[in-house]
Amino acid sequence: MRRRLINSTLAVVLVVIAVFGVSLVIVETRTISNSAQESVDSEALRLISVVESRLLGAERISPDVLSEQVGPDRYARVEIPGRAPIEVGERPTDSVISSSETGEQGEKVTVEESRSAVTREVGRTLLIIGAVALLAIVSAVLLAVRQANRLTSPLTDLAETAERLGSGDPRPRRKRYGVTELDRVADVLDASAERIARMLTAERRLAADASHQLRTPLTALSMRIEEIYSTDDPDTVKEEASIALTQVERLTDVVERLLTNARDARTGSAVVFDLDEVVKQQLEEWRPAYRSAGRAVVCSGKHGLQAVGTPGAVAQVLAALIENSLMHGGGTVALRTRVTGNQVVVEVTDEGPGVPADLGARIFERTISGRNSTGIGLAVARDLAEADGGRLELLQQQPPVFALFLSRVAPTRKEPERPVR
């Protein structure tokens, strides 16, 4: 493409020079020839007038007198009846430009000039025109090279960008070239790169969230199945199977929420639900794990509270907090429900060392963890809480107190405090 651009620009310039250059040469040649002829004619008229004035005044006509009226490169011949011809200058032997004038008394003046002078003038003019044409060609080549570089380099960059997108590198280059059409292509490629990057990020995030969020329900489900496998009591089998079915429903809900846009979930699935049922469900699911670890999980505070949100999402948030206390905390884990303003609050605390001071402000960021965990659980929990219009906060670092805030519906009657159990 670079060579084609240079060749096409040079061809256009050569055509323009050929058309206008030839025309200019013809015009200039004619102009120089006509100017030389007019000069010779003018000199012949001037010389005949001098001869006539001297004849009328009976003055002497000599070559010395006439030489003052004739140019140095010209030849003049004066013929007066009854006298010998008078010649001034050297008569040219080659082609000449000639002009003759005749006076009233029969005198005749002839002025000649060699065409070599005209030829030299035409040659100088052609040389100037040729120099200008050469300068135009050089300038055109330089301009063509510059324009070719300006166009081919961006096209090469754009091709590399498209190749990078195809190879899975969606980073936008944010590079512009000052050419409207090429900049539009660069805008489209950068926009496509951003969309691809967002899609890849969403896919990676979905995979990470799914891996983390499905692990807890599957672990709890496996524990229930182990309970069923290890007992021969029909009532225990029935109870554990019922709980396992509930956990399967929760697992299904987790998968659906992972595949559903948070905005759709916020507008389409938020309902008024009984907070006690969700808290009770979490206690039942996590008590076996805490018993195995030699620890306890209890609940206190107000009961009969209702909240606005998605029960499955709230359960996932509480599960993340309880699991976080099991993995990183110590002692008894306590869930406490309370009311503040128009919100219902569920606090989760334990007797462990708490959140390190350097992680307090970043505890909800992805990949941030105080131990060798994924650092995803609390980040996903906060996303789920915000999707339901609530929020998840760390109220206290030592001992750790996490609080889930949800919109509430005022209860119809005042309920007493629940004892710790």
What is the mean pLDDT, run by run of 10 residues, along the chain of 421 residues?
75 84 86 87 85 75 74 83 82 83 84 84 87 87 80 76 76 76 81 75 64 66 76 79 75 66 48 90 87 91 89 86 89 94 93 81 67 63 83 90 85 49 49
310 closest CA partner among 264, 265, 277: 265
Instruction: Specify the CATH number for 2-138; select among 3.30.450.250, 3.40.50.20, 3.40.630.10, 3.40.50.720.
Output: 3.30.450.250
* The pLDDT value given to residue 318: 92
* The pLDDT value given to residue 213: 60
* The pLDDT value given to residue 208: 62
Q: Pull the structure tokens for residue 230.
A: 């290890």
Phi-psi region at 73: left, alpha or beta (left = phi > 0; alpha = psi -120 to 50): alpha
Fold matches, 2-138 and 264-418:
no
* The pLDDT value given to residue 335: 95
pTM of the model: 0.44
* The pLDDT value given to residue 263: 45
| CATH code of the region 264-418 | 3.30.565.10
Quickly tell me which residue has 């599957």 as its tokens.
Answer: 218
Domain ranges of the chain: 2-138, 264-418
* The pLDDT value given to residue 267: 45
- The H-or-E segment that residue 306 falls in is strand 306-309
Q: Are 317 and 404 in contact (CB under 8 A)?
A: yes
User: Three-state SS across 121-160?
Assistant: HHHHHHHHHHHHHHHHHHHHHHHHHHHHHHHHHHHHHHHH
Distance CA 215, CA 233 (A): 28
